[in-house]
């Protein structure tokens, strides 16, 4: 199955170039070429899009602002002439950040990252549907490592990598986005409390001043953006007690 994507750039030549690259990659399907956020929103309202190639500097609303406003984000690859947005790009869980002029090789590498993340998600979902998986496999240092969900304390985003902190105080680092890992985790056990943190709700015992406090003075902030969903998780747990 092909990955449905949109190329978004207010510069006609730039969007034509990205679109031309996309059409050369067999596992991509170019759904639309858009010149602004309004056109993109119209396409996304009618078609489920899995990947956006999006410029940052555009009129009316920037690509970064648009991505931040999305509730259910597709995979994101930023295309821009400005390197200073790179850190912010990875903070919103972009798969890659390509600097113009963009070569076909660099765009292909970015799309291969997207495909690898989608394949990982699909493989982890192949487990018995009647009995949900209790673990996942992640790639780290050229190895595939089994990580049991019950052994996870919290997960931390570090730009283009994530660090999975385990109950044993060990950690596993893998080159994935927080979004990709979140899709693999049981929703009734894990909750996103910050753009950079997901916690295992079963391991939460102390909440203090909008922070989760783990042992050894580890403080995980609860951002205002995710406070409501975290509170709902608390309420659901209380109903089962």
pLDDT tens per residue, range 31-87: 999 999 999 999 999 999 999 999 998 888 899 999 988 988 899 999 998 888 777
**DSSP secondary structure letter of residue 187:** T
- pLDDT one-digit tens code per residue, 128-166: 454 567 899 998 888 889 999 999 999 999 877 899 999
Q: What is the pLDDT of residue 86?
A: 78
Q: How far is CA 148 from CA 152, 172, 186, in A?
A: 7, 12, 11
- DSSP notation for 5-67: EEEE-SSHHHHHHHHHHHHTSTTEEEEEEESSHHHHHHHHHHS---EEEEES--SSS-HHHHH
- DSSP notation for 131-156: S--SEEEEEETTEEEEEEGGGEEEEE
Q: What is the pLDDT of residue 128?
A: 45
Angle between helices 12-23 and 104-124 (to 10 degrees): 60
Nearest of 205, 198, 196 to residue 237 by alpha carbon: 205
Percent of the chain with pLDDT over 70: 94
The structural domains of the chain, ordered by start, are: 3-124 (3.40.50.2300), 135-240 (2.40.50.1020)
* Cα dihedral across residues 156, 158, 162, 164: positive or negative: negative
The pTM assigned to this predicted structure is 0.63
């Amino acid at each position: 199955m092909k990955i449905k994507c949109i190329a978004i750039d207010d510069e006609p030549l730039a969007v034509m170039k990205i679109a031309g690259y996309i059409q050369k990659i067999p596992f991509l399907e170019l759904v639309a070429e858009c010149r602004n956020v309004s056109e993109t929103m119209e396409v996304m309202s009618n078609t489920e899009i899995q990947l956006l190639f999006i410029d940052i500097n555009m009129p009316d609303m920037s690509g970064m602002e648009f991505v931040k406003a999305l509730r259910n984000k597709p995979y994101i690859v930023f295309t821009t002439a400005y390197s200073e947005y790179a850190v912010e790009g990875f903070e919103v869980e972009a798969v890659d950040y390509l600097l113009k002029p963009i070569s076909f090789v660099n765009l292909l590498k970015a799309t291969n990252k997207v495909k690898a993340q989608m394949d990982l998600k699909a493989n982890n979902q192949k487990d018995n549907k009647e009995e949900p998986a209790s673990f996942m496999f992640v790639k780290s240092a050229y190895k595939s490592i089994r990580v049991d969900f019950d052994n996870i304390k919290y997960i931390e985003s570090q730009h283009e990598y994530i660090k999975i902190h385990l109950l044993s105080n060990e950690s596993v680092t893998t080159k994935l986005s927080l979004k990709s890992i979140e899709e693999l985790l049981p929703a009734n056990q894990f909750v996103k409390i910050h753009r950079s943190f997901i916690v295992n709700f079963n391991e939460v015992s102390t909440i203090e001043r909008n922070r989760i406090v783990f042992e050894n003075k580890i403080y995980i902030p609860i951002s205002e953006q995710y406070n409501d969903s975290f509170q709902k998780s608390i309420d659901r747990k209380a109903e089962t007690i």
